[in-house]
Amino acid sequence: MELAWYALLGLFFATYLVLGGYDYGVGLALAGDADPRRRRTALNAVGPFFLGNEVWLVAAVGILFGAFPLLEGELLAGFYPAVLGALAGVILVTAGVQLRSRPARERIRARWDRVVVVGSALAALGWGALLAGLLQGVPLHADGHVAGLGHLFTPFAAAAALATVALVAVHGAAFLALRLPAADAAGAARLTRRLVPVALAAVGAATVLGLLSDRVRAAVQRPALGVLLPVALVAALLVARAALHRRRPGLAFAATSVALALPVALVGAALWPFVLVSTVDPGASLTVADAAASEPTLRLLGWLVLPLAPALLGFQLMCWWVFRGRIDGRAPVYW
């Protein structure tokens, strides 16, 4: 029962990283484009999906609160700086994207676009640092509380946060290569292929720092899965690059999506049966089973969520289906 809920939590958060990830990647891409028309086209390529993407985060936190209340408190409060950064980023992006085209003046729109760029970077940094923080363990004491915040500021967490920014940037560019009008898509594909080596370098740096870190080596319960993570990331990035070379943007986007979803699954699996590994007192580590809500709560949520899951997914699929394909001159423009 706990495992099922843990998997569902991971599924929602991973889907958020994939879907929200291309929002932020497109947001980062705005920084490199001086042409107002192209910036607006990029945002409207995300257009109809934008609101449906970030709901996966809200739902993931909802599941976290409902099914893992103990974890919710310690995770969010224990990683305060990372969560604060990610949260500020999410808010800046959500406000920036939706409001940027309401003023008519191009200069003000450009200012909003900078807000989106900063927000996208903050969100990617924050979530990357959070995942790294889980891998390197936390100073969880026997009283059940995480002490202090300094534990988060390590070279590994910084490198992982930067690697997440790079992955998100590749992912967003791959999304644009898939969705922009044919004339603009070539530029996006070039950008993706140019970003892949950067992402490879960032993933490599994070891997080396992770392997060197005593805390990561001690916290990871299944080293094989821990090593598989960077290998899979590198493979996904190379597939994306090769796919774009062969003009298969769909495959490239699938590969970058895998690159964003995998870290969630592998971090969860590598720490299992724990979710928060204590660096100070092995006995204080929090297992998934201990973190879960009690039986009646999980059963209630199960009865409510199971029948609804097809509807949630169905309406998202409807959105993807209705607005599938490349945007063109007939696509609605609102953002």
Partner 1 sequence: MDTLLLARLQFATTTSIHFLFVVVTLGLVTLLVGIQTAWVVTGNPKYERLTRFWGQLYVINYVLGIATGIVMEFQFGLNWSGLSRYVGNVFGAPLAIETLVAFFLESTFLGMWIFGWHRLRRGVHLALLWGVALTAYASAFWIMVANSWLQNPVGYEVRDGIAHLTDFPALLTNPSLGMAFGHVVSAALLVGGMLMAAVSAYHLIRRTPDFALFRASLRIGLVTAALAITLVQGFGFAQFGPVGAVQPTKFGSGADADALIAEWTARFGPGDYTPPVLANVGLGFMILIGLGLGALWLLLPLLWRDWVIRLRFPLWLLLLGLPLPFVAVILGWIAREVGRQPWVAYGLLPVDQAVSPVAAPVMLASLIGFSLLLGTLAVTNWTLIARHAARGADDPALGRPPGHPADLRPEPAFA
Encode 145-157: b = buried (16+ Cβ within 10 Å), e = exposed. Answer: ebeeeebbebebb
Contact 100, 43 (CB under 8 A): yes
Read off the amino acid at residue 29.
A
- Residues 13, 24, 50, 175: which binds partner 1 (CB under 8 A)? 50
Residue 175 is a binding residue for partner 1 (CB under 8 A): no
Nearer to partner 1 among residue 102 and residue 217 (C-beta): 102
Contact 238, 204 (CB under 8 A): no
Task: For the segment 195-214, give every residue that binds partner 1 (CB under 8 A).
Answer: none
4 is a contact residue toward partner 1 (CB under 8 A) = no
With CA atoms as reference, report the closest residue to 87 among 52, 125, 117, 59: 125
- Per rule CB under 8 A, is residue 129 in the interface with partner 1? no
Extract the tokens encoding 248: 């298969």
* Closest distance to partner 1 from the beta carbon of 297 (Å): 5
d(C-alpha 310, C-alpha 291), whole Å: 27
Which residue in 1, 84, 142, 289 binds partner 1 (CB under 8 A)? 84
Helix or strand run (H / E) with residue 276? strand 274-276
Determine the interface stretch with partner 1 among 141-149, 167-175, 178-186, 190-198 (rule: CB under 8 A): 141-149
Task: Kindly state whether residue 54 participates in binding partner 1, applying the rule CB under 8 A.
Answer: yes
1 binds partner 1 (CB under 8 A): no
- Select from 112, 110, 144 the least CA-distant residue to 33: 110
Stretch that binds partner 1, among 99-107, 127-135, 183-191, 197-205 (CB under 8 A): 99-107
Residues 88, 119: contact at Cβ < 8 Å? Answer: yes
> Distance from CA of residue 205 to its chain's centroid?
19
Residue closer to partner 1 (CB basis): 248 or 290: 290
CB of residue 71 to partner 1, shortest distance in Å: 8
Contact 184, 175 (CB under 8 A): no
Query: Among residues 10, 20, 27, 47, which is the contact residue for partner 1, using CB under 8 A?
Result: 47
Residues 107-126 that bind partner 1 (CB under 8 A): 107
In degrees and rounded to multiples of 5, residue 274 shows phi and psi of: -90, 160
Residues 283-312 that bind partner 1 (CB under 8 A): 293-294, 296-297, 300-301, 304-305, 308, 311-312
Is 72 among the residues that bind partner 1 (CB under 8 A)? yes
Select the residue interacting with partner 1 from 3, 4, 7, 36 (CB under 8 A).
36
Kindly tell me which of 148 and 223 has the beta carbon lying closer to partner 1.
148
Cα 76 to Cα 202: distance, rounded to the nearest angstrom: 26
Q: How far is the CB of 219 from partner 1 (least distance, A)?
A: 21
Q: Does residue 153 touch partner 1 according to CB under 8 A?
A: no
Closer CB to partner 1, 182 or 322, in the complex: 322
- DSSP 3-state of 328: coil
Beta strands in 252-324 (DSSP E): 274-276, 286-287
Question: Cα(63)–Cα(72) distance, rounded to whole angstroms?
Answer: 9
Coil, helix or strand for 239? helix
Q: Among 1, 4, 7, 106, which residue interacts with partner 1 (rule: CB under 8 A)?
A: 106
Residue (88 or 208) nearer to partner 1, CB: 88
